[in-house]
Amino acid sequence: MRKIRTELLEIAFEEGGPKDGPAVMILHGWPDAPCGWDSIVSRLQAEGWRTVIPYLRGSGPTRFLSEETPRVGSGVALAQDAIDLADGLGLGRFSVVGHDWGARAAYTLAALFPDRISSVSALALGYQPGGGFKVPSFEQSRKFWYQWFMCVDGGAEKVREDPVGFARIQWETWSPEGWFDEAEFASAAESFSNPDWVSITLNAYRARWRDGEVRDSRYDDEQRRLETVELISAPALMIQGVDDRCDPPSESEGLERYFTGGYRRVLLEEVGHFPHREATDLVADLVVNHLRGKASR
């Protein structure tokens, strides 16, 4: 594990593969950690890619440098963290692979920094043009119970009291039963002990639906710019589990028109919200083939 300091963070990240290989930044989701990508990363490195996998703000050993920095979990903040890390490592153009929160950050990177992103591979989350959030249908709102729960002050307090238990519920209900074992969850849950994990989690969801939540004005310009962007020029691969019980395939339909550089959506049968963990070999094949088409040094 390495660490690098940006203006706001000391970002911890895993790195491997040939130093002169095309760079791929891999962004984990919520509630998850870089360890979920281990098998896929080994495949990418063996085939010549340089992989960089940060612990997102609020996760694992990544730390804020100042107590005064607002703990915000927006997609724009996550994308800027990725750019800051890439700058610190001297990466010019790179491909990005992301799951869940990482997928949102990947789309945001492609929207705000098109000259930096060679390709996008997004798992479990469809593109949201302009980065906006709309109140979903009744059926989808039922699946998003955890978001509404965090918007209630009493619910937020329950999350503070038992963040690992809260994360565990998502693992148990977002995919078909039996897809993970205790050791797998325990390894990921180590990241949830970061002192800012709860603050970032609560802000990421509460700020979507409530006024008056903590914000960081340094992202205002990028947020306004994101709201004007609809089209993505980077070639994109979207992987969705047919049995995703949080973000079902109906939430990612009909998005092809937003991708001017090419778009492929793949649905995986008997797979839920964590395709990279549930169908590792198949996801690795899909990502490798996508990267081969648009790898850039």
Give tens-digit pLDDT for 82-119. 999 999 999 999 999 999 999 999 999 999 999 999 99
Angstrom distances, CA of residue 154 to CA of 39, 58, 73, 75, 148: 39, 22, 20, 25, 11
Q: Which residue has the tokens 């994990």?
A: 197
Cis peptide leading into residue 31 (ω within 30°): yes
Average pLDDT of the residues of the chain: 96
The number of CA neighbours under 13 Å toward the Cβ of 148 is 9
- Report the CATH number that the domain containing residue 142 is assigned in CATH: 3.40.50.1820
> What pLDDT does residue 279 have?
98
Tally of domains in the chain: 1
**How far is residue 32's CA from residue 246's CA, in Å, rounded to a whole number?**
15
Whole-angstrom Cα distance, residue 190 to residue 177?
22
- Which run of H or E residues covers position 15? strand 9-16
Model confidence, pTM? 0.96
pLDDT tens, 54-68? 999 999 999 999 999
Counting as low any pLDDT under 50, the low residues of the chain are 295-297
The pLDDT value given to residue 294: 58
- Tell me how far apart the alpha carbons of residues 131 and 20 are, in angstroms, rounded to a whole number: 33
Domain limits for position 240: 2-294
DSSP state of 259: B
> What is the C-alpha end-to-end distance of the chain, expressed in Å?
23
DSSP 213-233: ----GGGHHHHHHHTT---B-
